[in-house]
Amino acid sequence: MEPFQLCVALGPLAMYLLYLGLINLRRRPLLVAGWRELIAIGLAVSGFVFVGPMRLFMPEHAAVKFGPIIWILLIAFYTLCFTLAILMSRPRLVVYNLRADRLHPVLLEIARRIDPSAVWAGHALAIPALGIEFYLDDYLTMRNVALVATGEAQNASGWRALERELRAALRQVPTTANPRAISLLFAGGLLLATILYQIGSDPQAVAQGFSDLLRF
């Protein structure tokens, strides 16, 4: 892979890994809406999409006609496709740096306060007053928990209400730094060092790659 393409591919992923590492160093859980997490993932892999599928399936006739503007059109197309995928995905909330066994009592307290008829069934919780039902997907390796909708019939305002209540409750829940944060920071730092090495060792090749990107 050319130096410029390597920098473009690894840059967003390096930033994403460093961001995850810093999140897992926190001594408080962090709640993120599912659509925000998907946007972060989309940005993380955007570099690989840019140097891979976008270049591979480049419409040559359109590129000759529009010139460098074709990249704006391709990025807009990728953004629209990813936005459609987000809109079609089920509602979800992600809690970073907290295990499911510690999140369970917090959710139960919130559910019972909102709706005394709320029911736990295994790893699933239904809150009829909010019109939502979800299950806990515990990522033991990363010490993260996802609250994933169990069906299509979900109340969007109910999910927003749960997010507000859970965000406020998690401010009172202390936790410890996740040891996995070190490996995430190391991986992100290694990728960033690779990018800086490529730029420093052969800046002309990187500049030439950028120039070739704009030439049709």
pTM of this prediction?
A: 0.83
Q: Residue 216: pLDDT above 60?
A: no
What are 57's two structure tokens? 């399936």
Burial track 27-51 (b if 16+ CB lie within 10 A, e otherwise): eebbbbbbeebbeeebebebbbbbb
pLDDT computed for residue 21 by the predictor: 92
Q: Report the percent of the chain where pLDDT is more than 90.
A: 32
Q: For residue range 30-50, list pLDDT tens digits in order.
A: 999 989 999 999 999 988 888
12 pLDDT band, cuts 50/70/90, is very high
Which pLDDT belongs to residue 61? Answer: 74
Query: Within a 10 A sphere around the Cβ of 9, how many other Cβ atoms?
Result: 21
Q: Which tops the pLDDT comparison, 207 or 83?
A: 83
Type and span of the H or E element at 148: strand 144-149
- Confidence at residue 213, expressed as pLDDT on a 0 to 100 scale: 66
Bridge partners (DSSP) of residue 93 are 33, 147
Q: Enumerate residues 6+ apart whose C-beta is below 8 A from 148.
A: 90, 92, 134, 135, 136, 137
* 169 touches 109 (CB < 8 A): yes
pLDDT tens digit sequence for 38-87: 999 999 998 888 888 777 777 777 777 777 788 888 888 888 988 998 88
Q: What is the mean pLDDT of residues 115-135?
A: 87
* Closest listed residue to residue 53, CA positions, set 85, 3, 5, 4: 5
